[in-house]
Amino acid sequence: MNDQPSLSIHHSVIAFLGGGAMAGALIHGLIRAGVSPERLRVSDPVEKQRHLLHERHGVPVFADNAEAVQGADVVILSVKPGVVIGVLDAIAPLLQERVLVLSIAAGITLTTLTAHLPANQPLARVMPNTPALVAAGISALLPSPATPPPYRLLARQIMEAVGLVEELDNEALMDGVTALSGSGPAYVYLIAEALSDGGVASGLPRALADRLAIRTLLGSAKLLEESGLHPGVLKNQVTSPGGTTIAGLEALEKGAVRGALIAAVQAACQRSRELGAPKKS
């Protein structure tokens, strides 16, 4: 690695430790943003996953984290939270001073990460979501206090390649972010599936029901974002007295859908806290 690496996504070597779905989404997004596949690399212990990533994205792949880290300007921890500490302990002696470490592991705090890295290592926590695959993600970025501004900017550039970035200054917010936007796509997919099932139950062909559900969710989200109106205002615009929409909304309220979604975010938030809690000996 050069003594003065260029702090740009297009001139940095970015190593992913762990080749799961989120790593794949970020790799795809970075390549879409013009990053050369040769500057991306992935390590994963599963041969089938390595083969898939290489075939799909053309990136170099490794079985050993140490090989992937060698010469990297950025190391992205995309492994399961339960193995983060072991991975850090193994690669920490190999990291050069100017290597930026990004962790996308849910629940693992900056304090924990810092304790297993060399002193003053540039570091940030990131919580992306899988719409990064189509450059429509949103990520929360939390740099460590000791991370210099150029490295904060590089972290932001990486995540902006796959969507919007919200930079946080309070780590206590990260569990809520994980629960809402990190886990949120799964809630939306469940809703899409249920809407399609409702269409089929009402006599629609499955393919048509799928298309209607997807475009309804997509268009509604776009209108919500671009109008700037409160969701309740837009809901009321669709709801006529004694009409079909209010009948459907009444059924949703009877089914406690609103409460179930709130509870889902709260449950995911609590799980994120548990993942980051110190393990009892």
Q: Are 56 and 24 in contact (CB under 8 A)?
A: yes
Write the pLDDT tens digit of every residue in 15-34.
999 999 889 989 998 998 89
Q: Among 114, 105, 136, 109, which Cα is nearest to 20's?
A: 105
Which 3-state string (H, E, C) describes 53-90?
A: HHHHHCCCEECCHHHHHCCCCEEEECCCHHHHHHHHHH
Q: What is the model's pLDDT at position 3?
A: 46
pLDDT range class, residue 280, cuts 50, 70, 90: low
- Numbered ranges of CATH 1.10.3730.10 in the chain: 184-275
Contact 18, 43 (CB under 8 A): yes
Torsion of CA 153, 154, 155, 157, to 10 degrees: 90
Determine the angle formed by the axes of helices 47-57 and 21-32, rounding to 10 degrees: 20
Question: CA 54, CA 42: separation in Å to the nearest integer?
Answer: 9
Please state, in angstroms and rounded to a whole number, the distance separating the CA atoms of residues 114 and 124: 10
What does the pLDDT look like over 146-177, one tens digit per residue?
A: 899 999 999 999 999 889 999 999 999 999 99
Contact 130, 28 (CB under 8 A): no
* pLDDT tens digits, one per residue of 38-86: 999 999 999 999 999 999 999 999 999 999 999 999 999 999 988 999 9
Spell out the residues 6+ positions from residue 109 whose beta carbon is closer than 8 angstroms to its own.
125, 171, 276
Per-residue model confidence (pLDDT) at position 6: 54
Determine what percent of the chain is predicted with pLDDT higher than 90. Answer: 83
Architecture of domain 184-275: Orthogonal Bundle (1.10)
Average pLDDT over the chain, rounded to whole? 93
Read off the tokens for 90: 């193994």
Helix axes of 257-276 and 184-201: crossing angle, nearest 10 degrees: 150
- Find, among 131, 69, 77, the residue nearest to 106 by Cα: 77
pLDDT of 253 higher than 50: yes
Residue 277 has pLDDT above 80, yes or no: no
- Given a contact cutoff of 8 angstroms between Cβ atoms, the answer to whether 40 and 14 are in contact is yes
pLDDT at residue number 1 = 42
* Residue range(s) occupied by CATH 3.40.50.720 in the chain: 14-169
> What pLDDT is stored for residue 135 in this prediction?
86
Q: Count how many Cα atoms sit within 13 Å of the Cα of residue 261 in the half-sphere of its side chain.
A: 15
Fold of 14-169: Rossmann fold (3.40.50)
